[in-house]
Structure formats: structure tokens, C-alpha cells
Chain A
Amino acid sequence: MIKKKTGKWVHKDLLGLEYLTKEDIELLLDTAVSFREILDRKIKKVPALRGKTVVNLFYEPSTRTRVSFEVAAKRLSADVINIAVESSSVKKGETLNDTGKNIEALKADIIVVRHNCSGAATMLGRNVNISVINAGDGWHEHPTQALLDMFTLRKKLGKLEGLNVSIVGDIAHSRVARSNIWGLTKFGANVTVCAPKILIPPGIEKTGVKITDNIDDALSNADAINVLRMQFERDDMKAFPSQLEYFKNFGITEERLRKAKKDIIVMHPGPINRGVEISSEVADGTNSVILEQVTNGIAIRMAVLFWVSQVRDKEVKNEINY
């Protein structure tokens, strides 16, 4: 990522929370607080990105993230163009790099990219001089989702430090889980991941998280729980027991919540599968903040769009240094 000496924000791209410092994340969360207020005004628009063009480049079908970015960009007065590419035709068609360079040649300022391949946003960021925001790449990261989760938590509980947060579901194949782990651990939250053993990715404990395959353990001391969407239709899940079995062992139900802290916060990145990973009663219940997350997502994406648009140094190439 570009390191720029002036200003608070130094990154050309937002590729993942692994690559950000706590201060970077704090800046985004704080900025989102002011943008969140705008969303409750009668006139919900500010001119911060007037004259800028944001391209939503989506290789995976996604309504909520795409719409959220579109709303965020429009609230900042940017022009928005949506490009949906069928992932089935990717291999035959134009390469991602060529598509990115074409968008750059069209004089767009920011590409928001969603891709089924891990690392796609990183590669794109390396190959174009305009900003790239990762809207989810494979199983790798979904930074704006984790930021909005953290924003919601901080808004509800006042802080992130020391919070006990449990993430439940398919951790192995989840970019939401990875981004949440990187972000929350940077703030000193105690993160527990809970899933059947085959859905725990190797070495995840090295991030500092605790691992359990017992949902009651994951719930017992949690201040918040983040329930991941289960995708039983994917190939990797064929070895897995039935949906019913999963719900029986890991589903978040009222009965289970009764044993947890009374005011435990229930989050879900959506779209929810009622009766698969979460019961309707819990999803719609008083502990649920699922719809607030959606609103907060706009504020977070406004903050991200705002800050990356402040860094425009074409001379410097984006590079993750290891």
C-alpha cells in the first residue's frame, strides 16, 4: 500500500484489515461516526466526492454490498457505475488487470471490486494507479464488512478492547471471519471462533483467537456473537452433515441465547438463512442488530471511499511489503 507522508490516511487501496494498523482502523471508525449522522438527516448528501467516479466491479452476484457501496458513494456525491461480470465467463474474457486498466483509462477514481478469487483485489491494486477497495475476495478478506461489524459493536458497547466476541460458522471459507479476526484482535478484543472441526482453517490460532466446536462454550461469556451465513450448496461442503444437523449443533436459537449474557449482541453479515444458522426469533429479536449493521455499513463505506479518495499519488505504486 502507498505510504504517503502527509495526512492521516496513507493507503491507496483498502485490501484487507490484516494490512492496516489500529490507528488506520480507528480513523475509519471515527470518520464513519460523522457520516452516520448524515444518514439520519433529511438531506442525506454531502459534496465530499463530487466530480469523482466510483466503479463497482462485481464478479460475484451480491446485492447488499453492491447497493451499500452505491448508496455510500451517492451520499458523497460521487458518480457511480456498476459493472457486473459473470464469473463463468471470466476465464475466456478480458483479464481482471485489463478490465482494471480500462476502467482507469475511463478516468474513474475508485474501483470497488468483489471477486470469487482470493487475492484478486491485491492484484488489481498492484496493477492500476487508481484506488481499489476490496468488497470481498474469495475466502481472503471482506474489510468493509468487518469494519461495519466493529463500528456497530463500538457504537453499542462503547469500546472494542476486552470484548468477548464469538464468530460462529464456516470459518474456513469465510472472508468475513478473517477480516473480523484481524480487526478485532488489533483492538484487544478476545475472539473465539466456533465451528465443526473441518470448518476451522489450519493455523488460525496463530492470530490469537480461541477455537471451540461447542456452541454453548462460544456463547457462555460472549458480549457479542457474529453468525456467519452457511453455504451448504458449495462443493467443499459435500462431506458435511445435513443442514438440520448443523442447526441442531450450531444454530443460534432463543433457547441457546437464554444461557448467554442477557444483552448479548447478535450480528450477521447477511443475507440470513432463517432456520439454518439462526432462528427467525433470534434474527428478529431484541438482541439482534442485523438491520443496524446494514445502515452502519453505508457510513463505513462512506468513510472508506472518502479516505482512499484523499490519496492520489500516481507516482507511487501499490505494494504490500513482506
Chain B
Amino acid sequence: MKLIIKNGHVVDPANKIDEVMDILVEGGKISKVARAIDAKAETVIDAAGKIVMPGIVDMHVHLREPGREDKETVFSGTKAAAKGGVTSVLAMPNTLPSLDSAEIINTLKDIIKKTANVDVFICGAITIGRQGKELVGMGILKKEGVIAISDDGASVDSDELMLKALKEAKKEKLLVICHSEDKSLSGQGVVNRGFTSTRLGLRGISKESEYKRVARDIKLAEESGASVHIAHLSCAESVEIIRKAKKKGVKVTAETAPHYFSLSEESLLGYNTNMKINPPLRTKEDILAIIEGLKDGTIDVIASDHAPHTENEKEIEFEYAEFGSIGLETELAVSFTELVNCGLLIWSELVKKISFNPSKILDIDKGTLGFGKDADITIVSPEKEWVVNKVGFVSKSKNSAFIGKKLKGIVGYTISKGKIVYKTSPFAEREIFRSPNGEVGMAK
């Protein structure tokens, strides 16, 4: 089975390629990247005028299975991933029950094998039930294929336990992903604390609740020597703390989500619950700081923090609504529109943030179009404009903060291990899925 992509603008920062080239795929692997490849193939894709990039590696995705299949499943979530140009996702552990034991990991692995449309890697919990009380058996989880651990949605409050976790994770060579939030400071807050929370009459979430915990997590990382990744940065202070830590040589990486560089707290003035996110949308100054962090390399990764919720959890009073927005189907377009199209980043920098860096951080063999690598490829029409519409989502949940927004850049093809898992027809928005195709992702 051969596939050839002709005349596309290939962006592969790992191999320093940023020019028009052809790509030949054989047996699910990249077999050649060169100019004007002369080869016969069953499938020929004309990618003239399109960007051809390594498939997106989204290291912050809530697939909700097992336990909350009403919000999302591995099948629906990876279908949404394919539509968004995402070929690998890291599934977060706040499922029901949490991903804290070999048994539950095996259940999930089985579901992935049967239903995933793209590759799914697994992030285990740090503590049993994500309660912050008792550490999971990291060695056991690692043996089952877990590639990182996190109590995402919660932070391990006890410094002592967190330090112990980091030391253990270092021993097991597991990445620790920190949801850095001090609940004793954020409390019952629902939006960024400041003039907007005052205008809306809603309880605020201070920036301190985030950056103080970021500082603690970094301090403990330094003390333990473990690799730490800070999830979903939202404010200027956090960016600055990470910038300083990196200069000092601490093993820390950081991520932000598209909504933190594209939407400010002022978008919330109509009480749109789809924009109720944790950490909350911050100020315009924070947006600029996040963008600066992306530009100077302080922030390594853009990940969606895809957080599906049902309509009855969102179409209610703002204070009662769940936190989170879906993001798999919009992350590339939002990133392109807000960063590349505005001249803040160039394509190869974006590909680094969204495909290559997360692969490196997770230590998985993805994010490049090098010879012999998995043929995970995303083809994008960068000039195509579209309006985000609730009806268009293939995710089981429709709670997108970007509904109604006009975006640039549409995914034309998503190829996972040489198979087309998503395709936009040039004449209609018809989609083709071949499922299952994805696998349980394993470390290198």
C-alpha cells in the first residue's frame, strides 16, 4: 500500500525541512521526502498550495472513557482528533474510575484497540483516585504502558507527597504533568479575579492560585531532579516563573491551550458557559505574555485541553456549569489564525509547538516526517476560512469556546500510519472515516 503526497509545502522542523516537496508513504511509514518523487502509488494526493506537517500530538485530551461515555468516548474523541489534524493524543486520567491501576489501564487499552481512530497514549494518575493522598504504583502503571502521570483537574496539595511522587517518577522515568492550582486560593471562583469578575458578579480565581503552585511544582522538580511539565499556563506570572526556571536549568517544560492566547476574560461578559474554563480566561496583558512565552520558547507546547461536557452540564446557570471547552477540532485553526496568520510565529515554529515538542517531551517516536517514522501526516489548507459551528463538531460534546468565531486554516487530510483517517471533500464538507486504525501508544 503506497501513498504519495505531491507538491505540498512540507514543514518538518525536526529535519529542518520547510519547502515544497513530495512525500512517499509505504507500509504505513515515511519512505521518502524529496522533490518530485517519481513513483507509482495507489493513492495520490495533490497538496499544491497546502501545508504538509507531521500530525498533531495533543498531550492534553480528556477522552472521558471509561465512565463518562455520555460526554465523550475513545471512538468519538479520536474521530474529533482526526478531524482536527491530530494523530496522537495523550488521554488524561480523570476518568471514572481514575487511571490509577493496572486493571483500569488494561480496560482502557482494550477500548483503544477496538475503537480508536488515531493513536492514544495514556497518562496515569499520580495518586489513587486523584485524591492527593496515596501514590499509585508507578512501576506497575509504567509496565502497562503509561507514559506520563498527572492528577489533572487537581494538584497534589501536600508538598511532602508531591516530592515523594516526583522522586518515584524520576526512578521510573515517568514525566509528571502538573495541574498547578492551589484550591485554597482559587476556592469557589469561576472566572478570573478582577474587574470582569466584579462586572459579572461572580467569584474570582486569582492568578496567585496558579503561579504560586507553578513555583512550588518547579521548586520540587528542582529538588527531586524529575522531569516536570506544567499544564495549561494562563497568566503572565506563570510564564515568567518558568522562564527563570529554564534559565536556571531546571528540567521543566510548559504548555498552554489555544484559548489562553486567543480569548480574554472580556469574552465572558455575556455569561457564555462554554468559555468557563479552568484556569480561567485571563486579561489581554496575560494573552500578550503567553504569546511572548510561545515566541521565546518558554512555552514549549500548544495542547487543546479538550474537555467535553454534555449540554445539560453547560446550558445552565454559569456558577453551576462545568469547567472546560472542547478543542481538538479547532486547535490548529485557532493557532494558525492567532499566531501564524498574525505573523507572531512561523509555520515551522507552530509545528514544533503542536507536533514535535510534545513528542520529545513525552519521549514518543512521533512529530516528525523522517525516514522510517510512522506516516502521521496532516495536510492543511491555510487560506481557507470557516466559521465554527456547533453543528459541525464530531466530538460527542459541543461545548466549544470558539463557536461563532471565524477562523483560517482547515484540515484537508489526516493520515495516521499511512491511512487516511479524515478527509474534507473539495465539494462538500463530507467526511470519511476508517476505523479502527489507532493503537495504544507506547513509549519509544
User: Which A positions have Cβ atoms within 8 angstroms of B?
Assistant: 18, 91, 95-97, 115, 117-120, 122-123, 126, 137-141, 175, 178, 201-204, 206, 319-322
Contact = CB atoms under 8 A, between A and B. Distances in A.
Contacts of B200: 118-119, 140
Contacts of B319: 117-119, 138
Contact of B202 (A118, A141, A322): A118
- Most chain-B Cβ atoms within 10 A of its Cβ — which of A175, A178, A201, A206? A201
A123 B271 contact: yes
Given A118-B318, A119-B271, A175 B197 contact: no
B142 to A, nearest CB: 40
Nearest to B271: A119
Given A96-B316, A119-B317, A139 B199 contact: no
A204 to B, nearest CB: 6
A203 B202 contact: no
Interface string B194-218: 1111111110100000000000000
Given A122-B271, A139-B201, A322-B269, A117 B315 contact: no
A202 B201 contact: no
Contacts of B316: 95-97, 123
A204 B204 CA distance: 13
Given A201-B197, A203-B194, A203-B198, A122 B315 contact: no
Contacts of B201: 118-119, 137-141, 175, 178
A322 B197 CA distance: 16
Nearest to A126: B270
Given A119-B317, A201-B197, 19 more contacts: A91-B320, A95-B312, A97-B315, A117-B319, A118-B202, A118-B318, A119-B201, A119-B319, A139-B202, A140-B200, A140-B201, A202-B195, A202-B204, A203-B195, A203-B198, A204-B195, A320-B270, A322-B266, A322-B267
A319 B201 CA distance: 19
B200 to A, nearest CB: 6
A118 B200 CA distance: 7
B193 interface: yes
A119 B267 contact: no
B317 A117 contact: yes
A73 B266 CA distance: 36
Contacts of B317: 96, 115, 117, 119-120, 123
Nearest to B202: A118
A140 B201 CA distance: 4
A138 B199 CA distance: 12
Contact of B197 (A96, A117, A202, A321): A202
B193 A123 contact: no
Contacts of A139: 201-202
A117 B271 CA distance: 11
A123 B318 contact: yes
A206 B195 contact: yes
A55 B62 CA distance: 42
Most chain A CB inside 10 Å of its own CB: which residue of B197, B267, B317, B319 = B317
A97 B317 CA distance: 9
A202 B318 contact: no
Nearest to B190: A118
The residue in B196, B204, B266, B270 that gathers the most chain A C-beta atoms within 10 A of its C-beta is B270
A202 B202 contact: no
16 contacts: A95-B312, A95-B316, A97-B315, A117-B320, A118-B202, A118-B319, A119-B202, A119-B318, A120-B317, A138-B319, A140-B201, A141-B201, A202-B194, A203-B195, A203-B197, A322-B269
A97 B315 CA distance: 8
Most buried by A among B201, B204, B320: B201
